[in-house]
Structure 1
Amino acid sequence: MNLLFLSYWGLEDGLTVSTVFPHLRLLQETPEIKRILFVTIERGASASRELRFAPGFVTDKITFAPLRSRQNQPLLLNKIDDFVRFPNELIALVKAHRIDVLLGRGAPAGALAYLVWKKTKTPFLVESFEPHADYMLESGVWKSYDPRYLFQRYWEKKQKQLAVGLMPVAENYRRQLVQEGVPAPRIVTVPCSVNVPDFSFDPTRRQQVRARLGINQAAPVGIYVGKFGDIYYDAEAFDLFRDAAAHFGPQFRLLVLTPNPEAEVRAKLAKVGFGPEQVFVTKAPHAEVPGYLSAADFAFATIKPAECRRFCSPIKVGEYWAAGLPVLLTEGVGDDSDIIQQEGGGAIFNLERPATVPAALQQISTLLQQPKYRVDIRELAVRHRTVARAQEAYEQLLLPLASQTA
């Protein structure tokens, strides 16, 4: 089988590194897959420069072919251009590389796979399948009349009808898809996978990072990894940081690893009472994140609540758990909120019920007193977030296609 793996994110995007590469490594080790054409969508600066793909991959089995988005035009026109031009470029790649099956990462990539299917009838699967259109609408990023919303919602409907396999990231969404009429054998839940050993707690790195940042080894430390805004809380997240500092006392320190502009983040932290000595803000490469997680004691996952949030699987929660960190998480997020309530691993809050915030912080404090809390929480990542779930899905949905295309 010759496989085209399509990532909707760029080669160097943190989501590609953290969520796509682990699956790509699984696929390259699968004997039934003879060749893999790995395609990314490059925007911004990466669209106009040479990209290097290789470390950790068998490059005689994997060929890298980026699609480059045009620049210097409004965002809406840029996205429209992408979905007009990229299907034709993908069709040319399918023919040139004799592709048997397309595998799209995420519903937007699945939309492109569907558009290719319309012309070539090449079978396609979609992993990390989520109601992306509803995410963007309920987060306020798109409006109901936005062409991006209207097209993406239609394309998601076609993916449900025509994909030979769907891999939603939450069991909640698998059940919803079955209720909508998608045949259950075509669906396997695969939460966003984490390479657990890469993120495991390291006491040596904990000491080193704390020493480098001037943080007392006994100080309580919270960490936030990711963006502010869009589907994540912005001002509300900083209020939550303030509440945590008040709860844990003057020794509390905060680590923020974010692509948002550092000056803006520091200004918002200062606005809620943080002095420069209490916080560390940086945009860290993904390879450095595990060291910072080891230096922390608990983590924040401040995702805006919305009905469709029940269907997501934040990669950061899996990485936090792999490092043994209890997570302060918004209520109603994917399967993770239920897992925390049923199995531990953090505390749930709901800003519409303000009393849940101090209660959740107290629950975090109680967890931190348990001598084996990091070991126990790491087991959540092992049970719910390892790449073994993806392997099972590939065996059920993808590999049967190998005999059909041989």
Structure 2
Amino acid sequence: MKKHVLYLSYDGMTDPLGQSQVLAYLKELTQYDFVFHLISFEKKDRWEQHGDFIQKFCDEAKIHWYPQSYRKKPPVVSSFLDVKKMEKVALSIANRYPIAFIHCRSYMSALAALSIRKKKGIEFLFDMRGFWADERVDGKIWNINQPLYKYIYNYFKKKEVEFLNTAKHTISLTQHAKEEMLRWKQLHLQDKDISVIPCCVNTDLFNPEVIDAQKTFETKQKLGIAEADFILGYVGSLGTWYMLPEMMELYANLRKNKQQPVFLFVSKEDPENIYKQALKYKVPKEEIVLTSCLHHEVPEYVSTFDLSVFFILPAYSKKASSPVKQGELMAMGIPLICNAGVGDTDKIITEAQAGIVLKGTQPEHFKNLHLPEVNRQEIMQYAKEKFSLKNGGLKYLLAYKKMIS
């Protein structure tokens, strides 16, 4: 018998993360007789670009999609108005279909799920996606020295406890975050109440075995990179958390021991920002190569990397973070240099023998770096076991069984 699941997401499905971290899972789970009713909030520009494509995907996957318009203004108020809209649409769906449970993605969706549970008695799965309120503070989006943002932060920290204590089951992206929460005295949770599922990746797409050497050679030619060049690669946006100055300083040290070094950015980041950091660390502009591409093209560019890097600000909230790019890079067998203190990243890199974990990102940590010998096949195999959509789907299936038991 098919089970109807109401899936609430404040993230848009026309956003890249919506496609890789929501739709990909839902498509995987539909084979287990779950019928999804998906509510999401779409930004106007992305909706105009990709709305038809996502609707076609949902139709083919038999996912019932109820896209809503995302409001940007006025700040704060608009978000709560969106939550009320989410709740209204969700209640309408719950009145028409026998909803087994609600799967809510992150905190704004959990506000709606909490209200629906009180009104309809429908249990919810809290897919928390990280310590959201702390991320807003650590990322300097909320300044808690201002009374309004201090109030909002305290409100969500109280709600966080209510979400965790009320949800029938919780999903954490990292083991580190799970252990942290189990130490919180105000929670009434046991080990079995929280499942750990990292951000997973399509290992059929991110698979170097489907990209032949000729394709990689042609990609390098297209970028103006010689076959013999040593390529340090970075993929994805830089945004709030990624430490561009420190990554550029690392490259400035690495290039001293390489005859033909290149720092390749596969990113839509403003080039001037990157060139400014290159100048600061006396990196020649001609060694910086920038390109951007669609998500399905990323493996083609990553296949050119000899080594990759990402440094993330090791703030408190990052205990709960699982970088999508880590799974993608490891699935491609690319060795990594990263910093400690971010989710389970350092543990995973060490277990997989996939590169170097730096204890810090000060100049002294970049000197005399020697990348250990790595086995790319073993890195790929580890990634398939840890990050594949199939295994991630099976972990969600176990969590779903707890919801309907």
Please list the CA deviations of residues 3-48 of structure 1 after superposition, one character each: whole Å capped at 9, or x if unmatched. Answer: 12223321221212222232112121112x1x21122221252367
- C-alpha contact 2:11 2:40 (8 A) present in aligned 1: yes
Of the three residues 192, 209, 213, the one matched with 2:219 is 209
- Counterpart-to-counterpart distance in 2, 1:99 and 1:36: 9
Q: How does 1:247-262 map to 2 (within 5 A)?
A: 248-262=257-271
Match of 2:39 in 1: 39
User: Do residues 126 (structure 1) and 131 (structure 2) align?
Assistant: no
Does the CA-based 8 Å contact 1:102-1:124 persist in structure 2? yes
Residue 338 of structure 1 pairs with residue 342 of structure 2: no
Letter in 2 for 1:292: Y
Aligned residue in 1 for 2:65: 64
Query: How much has 1:379 moved relative to structure 2?
Result: 2.0
1:314 is displaced (CA, Å) by 0.8
Aligned counterparts, 1:167-178, within 5 A: 167-178=171-182
Is the alpha carbon distance of 1:262 and 1:110 closer, same or farther for their aligned partners in structure 2, counting shifts above 3 Å? farther
Structure 2 residue 366 is matched with structure 1 residue 362: no
Report what 1:224 is aligned to.
Answer: 234
Partner of 1:23 in structure 2? 25
Q: Residue 313 of structure 1 aligns to a residue in which SS?
A: coil
**What TM-score do the two structures reach when normalised by structure 1?**
0.87
Q: Which residue of 2 aligns with 1:14?
A: 16
Task: Report the secondary structure of 2:24's partner residue.
Answer: helix
1:388-399 map, 5 Å:
388-399=390-401
**CA distance in 1 between partners of 2:170 and 2:219 (Å):** 41
**Alpha-carbon distance, 1:277 to partner:** 3.1
Structure 1 gap ranges (5+): none
> Residues 172-225 of structure 1: CA distance to partner in whole angstroms, max 9, x if unpaired?
222233333313222211111112221112343322211211211221111112
Task: State yes or no: 1:200 paired with 2:204.
Answer: no
Tell whether the 8 Å contact from 2:248 to 2:281 is kept in structure 1 after alignment: yes
The sequence identity of aligned pairs, in percent, is 21
Decide which of 230, 245, 265 is 1:235's aligned counterpart: 245
Please tell me the residue identity of whatever aligns with 1:231.
W
| Conservation of the 8 A alpha-carbon contact between 2:332 and 2:380 | yes
CA distance in 1, matches of 2:77, 2:15: 22
Q: Is the 8 A contact 1:293 1:323 kept in 2?
A: yes
Greater shift in the superposed pair: 376-385 or 297-306: 376-385
Of residues 144, 158, 161, the one that matches 1:157 is 161
Question: How many angstroms apart in 2 are the aligned matches of 1:27 and 1:329?
Answer: 32
The whole-number CA distance in structure 2 between the counterparts of 1:389 and 1:171 is: 16
In 1: Cα distance, 2:360 partner to 2:197 partner? 29
Give 3-state SS (helix, strand or coil) of 1:101's partner: strand
Q: Distance in 2 between matches of 1:141 and 1:322?
A: 32
2:198 corresponds in structure 1 to 191
- Which one-letter code corresponds to 1:81 in the other structure? L
Deviation at 1:228, TM superposition (A): 2.3
- Decide whether aligned partners of structure 1 residues 234 and 45 sit closer, same or farther in structure 2, where only a CA change above 3 A counts: same
1:313 corresponds to 2:322? yes
Shift of 1:274: 3.9
Deviation at 1:82, TM superposition (A): 2.5
Written as runs of structure 1 = structure 2, the 5 A alignment for 1:373-392 is: 373-392=375-394
Asked if the contact 1:164–1:397 (Cα under 8 Å) also holds between the matched residues in 2, the reply is no
Structure-2 separation of matches of 1:273 and 1:76: 42
Aligned length: 392
Question: Corresponding residue for 1:349?
Answer: 358
SS at 1:375's partner residue?
helix
In structure 2, what is the Cα distance between the partners aligned to 1:154 and 1:60?
A: 37
The alpha carbon displacement at 1:101 in A equals 1.6
Residues in 2 aligned to 1:118 and 1:243: alpha-carbon distance in whole angstroms? 57
Gaps of 5+ in 2: none
Matched letter for residue 401 of structure 2: L
Paired with 2:159 and 2:310, the residues of 1 have a C-alpha distance of: 30
Q: Is the 8 A contact 2:330 2:379 kept in 1?
A: yes
Instruction: Say what the alpha-carbon RMSD is for the aligned residues.
Output: 2.6
Instruction: Provide the C-alpha distance between the structure 1 equivalents of 2:200 and 2:291, rounded to a whole number of angstroms.
Output: 25
- Against the structure 1 CA distance between its residues 243 and 20, is the aligned structure 2 distance closer, same or farther, given a 3 Å change threshold? farther
Q: Deviations over 1:102-132 (max 9, x none)?
A: 1123344334322332333321112354211
